[in-house]
């Protein structure tokens, strides 16, 4: 840090547990340390005029950069390192869930102590990563007056404004190639924000910071709910969680949902869609929607208590009176987005493909909510852009088995032009939580354009050998 201006949002340490017995030093002497910044950007948004909005971020510099060397002396390395923006879904789910439970530098124990450990599969080993709580009302993000966004246009506008404030505060990262990544309901956030970035870059005022967006990635995305709900019924029937009579009742309920959806009654469609999920789970003995192998949800451990402790808030420059909150499709954030929830946003990805952005879709095969089949069908539809042969090219693109030196396949990979699809076996909804090492390798292979070692089983059946 010698010679650097010390920014007010620098995070020097965080409590190692709820007792704060031994702070974890983030950037001084030791291995795998990195610069970290956290706090709120304050926005007088075009969306909620007269209401001060505060969006929370937590940034981690890549471990390939050194916190002991000044920014000026390694600016070239910093600028050429990819910057991943991570968003959880919900709506209302804090991206700090992704940080502590999936792909961040730290993990939290499942017991009441809230003990923090280093994550050996952190995505910031070779990339900068910033976790954003958005929209307003999610995680640590809040507004002076309780006011929430109601659609993706307002959400993406506010997030653009938040990014502008971040890059003005930290211009050293403004030249980084940016990859916008998220999961679940972020299947709606990601394309809307990516298109907003593209739009604003093309008409940016002189005072604006152009954002060098290179690509976008979605894991188990809630993209086309009408399709996902139909596939959910088929999936739980195929796996034996419901019988034929129950399937028939669910299909009748699904037809009522479709009727409301096609009539444009989005509030009723959202209610019927949510009711359909609840009934499906009840018929199946309340299995975990996000992993059919489980009967309980992925544990948050003591994360709620940890993030609401004043010691942690002080470390992250969060006012003590702000409550960290996270919800999954319930609460005020979800209620405000009720008109948005069941809308089909797959066309936004088609726009991004047409603009030559690189896209990655990955799925865990045990997810009931937003699983493989729905992603497969969405991608088949996406490739009907351009001339009439694109759909055929995507359909016939080799589906390679991504292998490891010993053991089972890591995944199944298909790519055509700027679109990549990866299916990760042994995973539920949150792929980085279930297969952390594989998922980190996947995201790096995609970003850095590394090959996925493996083979085409169709060609192998005809006598071709393994290839890299």
User: Which residue in 155, 132, 136 sits closest to 144, CA to CA?
Assistant: 136
One domain for residues 60 and 171: yes
One domain for residues 148 and 234: no
Backbone angles phi, psi at 346, to 5 degrees: -60, -30
* Helix pair angle (244-262, 225-238), 10° resolution: 180
Given a contact cutoff of 8 angstroms between Cβ atoms, the answer to whether 91 and 79 are in contact is no
- Domain assignment present for 80: yes
The label of the residue with tokens 């047409």 reads 354
- Cβ neighbour number for residue 458 with a 10 Å cutoff: 11
State which residues form the domain around 31: 13-224+341-393
Q: What is the pTM of this model?
A: 0.94
Q: Is the dihedral of CA 194, 358, 370, 130 positive or negative?
A: negative
* Helix pair angle (225-238, 266-283), 10° resolution: 10
For the chain, what is the domain count?
2
- From first to last of its 468 residues, the chain has per-residue pLDDT tens of 444 667 899 999 999 988 766 788 775 544 457 899 999 999 876 665 556 899 999 999 999 998 888 899 999 999 999 999 999 999 999 999 999 999 999 999 888 888 999 999 999 999 999 999 999 999 999 988 778 999 999 999 999 999 999 999 999 999 999 999 999 999 999 999 999 999 999 986 668 899 999 999 999 999 999 999 999 999 999 999 999 999 999 999 999 999 999 999 999 999 999 999 999 999 999 998 998 898 877 677 789 999 999 999 999 999 999 999 998 878 999 999 999 999 999 999 999 999 999 999 999 999 999 989 999 999 988 766 555 566 678 888 999 999 977 678 999 999 999 999 999 999 999 999 999 999 999 999 999 999 999 988 887 666 544 444
- Domain assignment present for 309: no
One domain for residues 233 and 94: no
Task: For residues 297 and 301, give the distance between their C-alpha atoms in angstroms, rounded to a whole number.
Answer: 11
One domain for residues 230 and 265: yes
* Helix pair angle (266-283, 244-262), 10° resolution: 170
One domain for residues 158 and 169: yes
One domain for residues 255 and 183: no
One domain for residues 204 and 245: no
* Percentage helix, strand, coil for the chain under 3-state DSSP, each rounded to 5: 35, 20, 45
- Domain assignment present for 98: yes
One domain for residues 34 and 175: yes
- CATH at residue 42: 3.40.50.1820
One domain for residues 95 and 24: yes
209, exposed or middle or buried, with CB in 10 Å at 0-12, 13-18, 19+?
middle
List, as one string, the DSSP characters of 32-43. S---EEEEEEEE
Given a contact cutoff of 8 angstroms between Cβ atoms, the answer to whether 416 and 278 are in contact is no
- Domain assignment present for 432: no
One domain for residues 155 and 209: yes
Domain end among 369, 393, 417: 393
One domain for residues 274 and 147: no
One domain for residues 245 and 266: yes
- Domain assignment present for 202: yes
The label of the residue with tokens 């650097």 reads 4
Given a contact cutoff of 8 angstroms between Cβ atoms, the answer to whether 317 and 38 are in contact is yes
């Amino acid at each position: 840090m010698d010679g650097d201006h010390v920014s007010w949002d620098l995070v020097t340490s965080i409590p190692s547990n709820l007792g704060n017995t031994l702070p974890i030093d983030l950037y001084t002497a030791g291995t795998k340390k990195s610069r970290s910044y956290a706090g709120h950007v304050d926005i007088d948004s075009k969306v909620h005029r007269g209401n001060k909005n505060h969006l929370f971020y937590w940034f981690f510099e890549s471990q390939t950069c050194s916190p002991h060397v000044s920014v000026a002396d390694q600016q070239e390395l910093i600028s050429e390192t990819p910057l991943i923006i991570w968003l959880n879904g919900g709506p209302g789910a804090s991206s700090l869930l992704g940080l502590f439970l999936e792909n961040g530098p730290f993990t939290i124990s499942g017991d009441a102590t809230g003990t923090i450990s280093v994550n050996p599969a952190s995505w910031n080993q070779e990339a900068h990563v910033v976790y954003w709580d958005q929209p307003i009302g999610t995680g640590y993000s809040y507004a002076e007056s309780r006011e929430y966004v109601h659609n993706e246009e307002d959400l993406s506008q506010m997030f653009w404004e938040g990014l502008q404030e971040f890059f003005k505060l930290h211009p050293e990262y403004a030249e980084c190639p940016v990859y916008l990544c998220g999961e679940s309901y972020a299947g709606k956030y990601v394309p809307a924000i990516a298109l907003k970035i593209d739009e604003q870059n093309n008409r940016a005022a002189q005072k604006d910071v152009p954002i060098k967006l290179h690509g976008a990635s979605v894991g188990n995305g809630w993209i086309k709910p009408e399709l996902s709900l139909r596939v959910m019924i088929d999936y739980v029937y195929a796996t034996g969680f419901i019988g034929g009579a129950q399937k028939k009742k669910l299909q009748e309920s699904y037809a009522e949902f479709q009727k409301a959806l096609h009539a444009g009654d989005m509030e009723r469609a959202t209610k019927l869609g949510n009711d359909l999920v609840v009934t499906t789970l009840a018929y199946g003995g309340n299995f975990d929607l996000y992993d059919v192998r489980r009967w309980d949800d992925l544990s948050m451990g003591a994360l709620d208590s940890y993030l609401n402790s004043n010691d942690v808030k002080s470390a992250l420059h969060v006012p003590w009176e702000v409550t960290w909150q996270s919800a999954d499709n319930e609460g005020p954030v979800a209620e405000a987005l009720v008109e948005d929830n069941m809308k089909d946003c797959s066309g936004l990805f088609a726009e991004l493909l047409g603009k030559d952005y690189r896209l990655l879709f990955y799925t865990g095969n045990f997810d009931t909510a937003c699983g493989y089949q729905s992603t497969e069908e969405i991608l088949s539809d996406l490739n009907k852009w351009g001339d009439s042969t694109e759909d055929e090219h995507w359909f016939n693109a080799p589906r390679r088995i991504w292998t490891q030196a010993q053991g089972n396949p890591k995944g199944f990979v298909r790519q055509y032009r700027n679109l990549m699809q990866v299916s990760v076996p042994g995973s539920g909804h949150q792929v980085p939580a279930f297969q952390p090492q594989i998922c980190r390798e996947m995201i790096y292979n995609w970003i850095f354009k590394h090959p996925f070692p493996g083979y085409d089983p169709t060609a192998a059946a005809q006598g071709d050998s393994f290839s890299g």
